[in-house]
A and B are shown apart, each in its own frame.
Chain A
């Protein structure tokens, strides 16, 4: 079977596709991005898209904070408020932190293990396009979730059931309009993207390592990608089932969560958190991996206790399956269940603590170079530790009974997701920006970004801890004067705007730095891992010759040897400075670009729209239209040759 099969049968379409592939292969023009299967370009698109959604989710947060800044405010009404906090949570989790992590997986994993691409480049492109269409679909609910035009009268159509979507809040009885349907289908579509990525990175890491790159010579970031990917492929199917059940209830009159029919809404909570708690680690493990790469570089020391960091990461991933009910202490599971999940939750803080000590041990006695990536990493450790400790407080059942549904919980998870995950991810952006742009990010703007974000972050979320302990409940759209909450809420709002300022500083930094004429070489930080051994930005084929790995931190070992005192001294240059020659790489066969993953990715949103409006004879046909689109994409993909 050859690639000419399509061409012979449908010469026009085949020829058009062929021309696109040839044009895209030149790495110039729009088609070279649309049809790309290059993991680096896909990673950049993931990052840019996630950043746009970050701005969307950030604006939602700012509106929430403006509303809560003063008692008895009426900037938004309670209905709008519900929709805003639902979309803020959903956006930040599924459209920002997960895809930003996916951006790093894409950019880094093949480079770190010495591969030319991921195992399935087209599947990788498919993941991205499904993420983009699913994210747009979900966000479109603001406009489409209610009857046409309602948005412009102030009726937001977005889902209003919280990011956790508890039954029966999501039933048609309590959530009219189609916001929840967009939410559920959106999450299903995004789940396809995440799972496709998860499969791809597991296979890549297990099977595509360079000669000598044994598992225990892999950078910690690669290990954390592996652990995260396993969590994704096992957690996503569970929420998929729950979302299908919800949709059957809403669209076709099923009774899964209907109490009148003998169903139990608690089933949703179990399914959601059985997915949701591993999800928490899906969000944080990649950031832990990033920090584990940054700290050794800027401490000029190997990672302290590498096997402990790896194994504690795996232990966290494993144990994350046994702690879900700590989100449900107050639902009446009984003392035994609560005690068991409490113990498991306390236990999971042990490997987390091990990691924190290892990061501190890495910096201890190192010749530390303070710059933006390091600042974000140290900020990560400090903020994540506070977040982790408040988490241990939640694990105690009686204590949690007091904190349940208060701002203390809000403060806790922002402490780990913003102070933790987002700080780690920003650190990663500063650290690897030169690798993929050939330019350093500006250090002055970077430090301004870090310090305003750090202060703003603490100004936002530490007051929330106090508010929680004062008894302020979550998800209320306003509160009365005289409860004593006004001052701390005003602080939190001021902090939120300081964070917004820091994000502006970051954007300015990217613009300023991209305009700079200064270029950096392949190894601006004196790095330790393989990605620094190749030019910045890396050539399409990554490695002109696939490296042979002899040790952990192999690239460092080609640059330095330890003297008798254990201090690294540079190896006398023998001409091999680590950079591949510029015009090497001829004759390397790379997978050809393809638009078929994009075509296949367009189908699901049509199918979802058709199902949501299945009562409308004009929109119902979107189901077969979407199905045929995806089938055409997938069949073309299966029959098209990988390389030409």
Chain B
């Protein structure tokens, strides 16, 4: 997204690493702590709710409540997000070969996969809401919606950036000189993807 630098800063920095790339890595490192705090809170409060509904089957006052998680459905949306990392890599590979059209196609594909994931999340949130889970229902509701909601917000920002980069790159003459922009967005996108793998594993798959 950034304007292409007139001088390649890679040759000017003390370490040879581009300033913007270093910035992105530092930003992602601090994001680890952000998601660490949210995931840690979820795990701390797992099975602590004093009222239904729960992620998996649970019993309150002798009544069994069916669990909310639909693992096959969420597995598919997790797979969709994983695949968006592949298309992101293809976008970078395209611009590194000076293929502006290929860049555009793969950026759009990544954005569409991201939007599919978001649609899945919107569907899941709606389902849970109809099953009686809101932000105020119980600890599960509060921790689940805030954690996955912040992840969804990160994906949304990513989609916004992907679409913006698609427009800017196609309206201008992007060549491999601009590939760093794509690489930086890719770093962010892969990070958000990895965070989902962690959330999916810890929140959905491992139930204790």
Contacts and interface: CB of A to CB of B under 8 A. Distances in A.
B126 interface: no
Interface in B30-50: 30-31, 33-34, 36-38, 41, 44-45, 48-50
Contacts of A245: 41, 146
Given A208-B13, A237-B37, A119 B23 contact: yes
A98 interface: no
Contacts of B38: 241
B142 interface: yes
Interface of B: 1-6, 13-15, 17, 19, 22-23, 26-27, 29-31, 33-34, 36-38, 41, 44-45, 48-51, 135-136, 138-139, 141-143, 146, 150, 164, 168, 172-174
Contacts of B173: 1
Contacts of B168: 1, 639
Nearest to A642: B3
A321 to B, nearest CB: 11
Contact of B17 (A5, A207, A233): A207
Interface string A238-257: 10111011001100111110
A199 B139 contact: no
A353 interface: no
Given A203-B22, A233-B30, A640-B3, 17 more contacts: A1-B3, A1-B168, A198-B26, A203-B19, A207-B14, A209-B14, A234-B29, A237-B31, A237-B33, A237-B34, A241-B37, A254-B136, A262-B49, A638-B2, A638-B3, A639-B168, A642-B5
Contacts of B164: 635
Interface residues of A, number: 48
B13 A262 contact: no
Contact of B14 (A120, A208, A237, A641): A208
A632 to B, nearest CB: 13
Given A237-B37, A244-B146, A256-B143, A203 B23 contact: yes
Contact of A643 (B6, B23, B36): B6
Nearest to B48: A262
Interface string A243-279: 0110011001111100011111001000100000000
Contacts of B26: 198-199, 202-203, 233
Contacts of A635: 164
A375 interface: no
A241 B34 CA distance: 6
A236 B30 contact: yes
Given A207-B13, A237-B33, A263 B45 contact: yes
Contacts of B143: 256
Given A3-B3, A206-B14, A253 B136 contact: yes
Interface string A202-222: 110011110001000000000
Contacts of B30: 195, 198-199, 233-234, 236-237
A58 B168 CA distance: 50
Give the most central of B3, B4, B50, B143: most A CB within 10 Å.
B3
A263 B146 contact: no
A262 B3 contact: no
Contacts of B141: 255
Nearest to B173: A1
| Majority-rule SS of A interface residues | helix
B33 A119 contact: no
Contacts of B13: 207-208
A107 to B, nearest CB: 21
Nearest to B147: A241
B29 A639 contact: no
A638 B178 CA distance: 14
Query: Which 3 residue pairs spanning A and B have beta carbons closest together?
Result: A241-B37, A237-B34, A253-B136
Given A119-B19, A203-B22, A206-B22, A252 B3 contact: no
A240 B17 CA distance: 29
Contacts of A203: 19, 22-23, 26
A315 B175 CA distance: 45
14 contacts: A1-B168, A199-B27, A199-B30, A207-B14, A207-B17, A234-B30, A240-B34, A244-B146, A252-B135, A253-B136, A255-B141, A260-B50, A635-B164, A639-B1
Contacts of B174: 1
Contact of B146 (A206, A234, A237, A254): A254
A82 B19 CA distance: 45
B171 to A, nearest CB: 8
